[in-house]
Amino acid sequence: MRRAGAGTEYEGFCVDMLRELADILKFRFHIRLVEDGLYGAPEPNGSWTGMVGELINRKADLAVAAFTITAEREKVIDFSKPFMTLGISILYRVHLGRKPGYFSFLDPFSPAVWLFMLLAYLAVSCVLFLAARLSPYEWYNPHPCLRERPHVLENQYTLGNSLWFPVGGFMQQGSEIMPRALSTRCVSGVWWAFTLIIISSYTANLAAFLTVQRMEVPVESADDLADQTNIEYGTIHAGSTMTFFQVSPLPLPTPV
């Protein structure tokens, strides 16, 4: 239905079908909406509501709508051939999820994974520092040309450098500090392999989190509908769907 100027125009499948019938059978029609907005259901006093009541009371000659053919309605009005076959479906608004926040870059991994990564970083830094201190190959003379200081040796893996070297490997940027001893090279190789796996997994998960909206289906059956409280549900009063749940021989959840 749409309003055009001073009048109201109706459009849709049922209206197009009514116009086609009017052209074939050569009759004129005037569209009027039912007053109570119902399809039609019997009342305790024997009367009918909605479009069915309008037809019975001869307030309308023809009713056009996609309403269900039931045994009760067929007793009082005549239906045309069905032009649409439908079942009972559940319509609900799709939850689009929350918008990315300031800390959305942490979502690809769980808090436990981030904690273990931090512990692994500290452990590798400590092992690298101890291995460099214990290995003689990591001690060298920074000024070999000075004869007055021939026995002065230094170790490039200070505590600060030991903490900085794993960070460079984790960021895949490398470092000017290169391991000399076999022990420090083994520790560095293990850390590089670990960071390669972690970075690859993080990149793949981050792309999925930021570009793909994961659609969750909270309701797939009447049981799911009855077991949740977030989605409010209902049917048209005195409609065929409401009658189905009232007289259905199938076992239905009690809340429904």
Q: Distance between alpha carbon 84 and the CA centroid of its chain, in Å?
A: 31
Give yes or no for a contact between 241 and 235, defined as CB atoms under 8 angstroms apart: yes
Cα separation, 27 vs 103, in Å, equals 67
Distance CA 10, CA 55 (A): 21
- 240 in a labelled binding site: yes
Asked if residue 241 belongs to a known ligand binding site, the reply is yes
8 Å CB contact between 153 and 141: yes
Q: Does the annotation flag 229 for ligand binding?
A: no
CA distance 244 to 33: 25
The binding site consists of 68, 73, 240-241
The binding site for L-glutamate consists of 68, 73, 240-241
